[in-house]
A and B are shown apart, each in its own frame.
Chain A
Amino acid sequence: MLLQQLINGALASGIYALFAVGFTMIFGIMGVLNLAHADFAMVAAFTIIWAVSASSQPVLAVVLAVLMVAAVAVVLDLGIIRPSRRFQGQSQSDIELPLIGTIGAGMILQNIAALMFGNKAVVFSFQMREYMQWGGLYISKGLLLSAAVAVVLLVLLEVMVERTSFGRQIRAVAQNVNAARIMGINTNLVTLSTIVLTAMLAGIAGVLAGLSYGLVSPYMGGTYAIKGLVAMILGGVGSLRGAVLGSLVIGLTEALAVTYFGSQLRDSTVFLVLLAMLLLRPSGLFKSPGVG
C-alpha cells in the first residue's frame, strides 16, 4: 500500500515539476510571481478540446494548442507583465503590480473558458486512464507517460539553460539585467521567450493531466499553481533542480499523507512541510543566483 502510494506520488510529481520550473524561471529572471502561469495548462487543454470537437484532427489540435499558448503568453507579457514592471523602483507597488496583473489575467482566462465550456469539469479529448500491473503494483499508464515526458523535457531544459548561448543569456538576465543590456542582450526578448517557453511546459503539463486524470476544468490551474509555487519555495527560488526536487517532495508527501492520515489531510500535510522548510531553511533546498 505504502509503496503503491509512493510510486503514484513520484509519478504525479512529474506534472508538478513542469509547473514549478516555470514559476521559478519567471521569478528568477524577472522577480515576478506570475500567478497566471498555471492557467496555460487550462488554455492548452481546452484548445485541444475545442479543436478536436471542431475538426477531429488530433495533430491539428496540438498545433493549435501550441500556437494558442504562445499567443496568450505573448499577450500576457506585452500587455500586463512588461507595462507593470515599468513602475518598478518607483513605489511600493514594485512586487504587487505585476502580481495583481497576473492574478487578473488568470481570472480572465478562466472566465473565458467557463463562458465557452461551462463552469464544471469536462472530459478531456484523449484519455490514458488504464493501469498496468507490475509485481502486485498498479501503475497508471497516464502518470507513467507524464513522468517520462517530464523527465525528458526537464533534462532538455537543464541542458538548454546550462549549455546553450540562449541559456547563458537567460542566466545573465536573471543575475544582472543591466550588465546583460551592456553585453548587447535584448533582455525584453529573453524574458518574452522565457515566458513563452515556460507557458509551453505548463501547457504540456495540462495536457498530461487531462490524459492521466480524464477531466479538465477552467479552474484546474489553481491547484497546480499552488503546488508549483510550493515546489519552487521548497527547492529554492530560481533553482531548476530545486523546483524538480521540491515537486518530488510534494508528490511523496501527498502519498504519505494519503496513506497515514487520509486524503482529506493531503494538502494540509504539504503545507506543513512547507512551513517546516521555511522555518528551518528559508532559502530552500538549493540556493541559486538568478536561474540555474
Chain B
Amino acid sequence: MVASSPADMLLVRNLHVSYRTAEAVHGIDLRVRAGEAVAVVGSNGAGKSSTLRGIMGLASALADEISFQGGDLRRMPTYRIARLGLGFVPEGRELFPGLNVAEELLLGGRLLRGPQRRQKLDEVFALFPRLAERRKQICRTLSGGEQQMLALGRVLMSSPRLLLLDEPSLGLSPLLQDAVFGALRHLRDGGLAMLLVEQNVHRALALCERAYVLELGLITRAGPSGDVRADPQVQKAYLGG
C-alpha cells in the first residue's frame, strides 16, 4: 500500500475497476508526483485502459483513495475531474467527427480568457505545425497521426496539470510515433506530469522516469524505468529479450 506524500499529484490506492459483472482491475496502487512522467505497461487486456477510465470516472471504480492534489475524485463526475486539470487523451482519440481542427481546439480552451486562449492556440500550433496547416479541416478527414496530435493538442488547450495518455502510439507508423513521442518529451521536459499507458514498452520506458507493469489487472512490478527495463521477466515478456 502506498502512503501519501505532499509531492503526490495523483494518488490511487486499492483501485478496482469493473464492467457490469467482470472486474478488469483488482486493487492496484499507483502515484504520480508533480512533474513526473510515469508509465503503465502491460499486454493487451491487462487493465491499463480500465485504470485510466476508472480514475476519470468513465468506468465503475471502487478504491480506498483516488485523489488529485489532495482532492477526492471518487464519485466525482468526469467533467469535474477534467476541470480540475486531468487531461485525458483516450485510446482511439475520441474526437468530434463533425468539428474542424480549430473548433476542436477552441472547445478544449473554452474556459480560458481570450488572450490566454490565443496564446495557448499558438503554443499548440508551434508543437504541431501540421494542425495549423489543417485548422479548417473536418476532424474525421485527418490521418491517424494528425488525429492523435489533435487529441493531444485539444487537451493541452485546457492547460492540464496532469496528462493521462492511453496508447498514444496505437495505429501510428513509426515516423508518426516519433512525432507524437517527440511532443510528449517536450511536454515532460517542460515539467508537465503524465501517466502514460502504452503497449510499446520500449518507447514508454524511454520517456518515463518510473513504470508500473500491469498483468491481468494486478501490478506485478514497479520502480524506476531503468530497473523495470533490466528485469529479466520484463525483458522476456515485453522487450523481446
Contacts and interface: CB of A to CB of B under 8 A. Distances in A.
Interface string B62-83: 0000000000000001111011
Contacts, number: 72
Interface in B67-118: 77-80, 82-83, 88, 90, 94-99, 103, 106-108, 110-111
Interface residues of B, number: 26
Contact of B98 (A165, A181, A182, A288): A288
A83 B19 CA distance: 21
Contact of B95 (A168, A169, A176): A176
A182 B58 contact: yes
Contact of B99 (A175, A184, A187): A175
B109 to A, nearest CB: 10
B217 to A, nearest CB: 22
B41 interface: no
A151 interface: no
B90 A181 contact: no
B208 interface: no
Contacts of A187: 79
21 contacts: A165-B107, A165-B110, A171-B98, A172-B96, A172-B107, A175-B96, A175-B98, A179-B90, A179-B94, A179-B95, A179-B96, A180-B96, A182-B79, A182-B82, A183-B82, A183-B155, A184-B80, A186-B79, A187-B79, A289-B140, A290-B98
A292 interface: yes
B107 A181 contact: no
Interface of A: 165, 168-169, 171-172, 175-176, 178-187, 288-290, 292
Contacts of B195: none
A168 B94 contact: no
A184 B106 CA distance: 13
Given A183-B154, A184-B82, A184-B111, A178 B103 contact: no
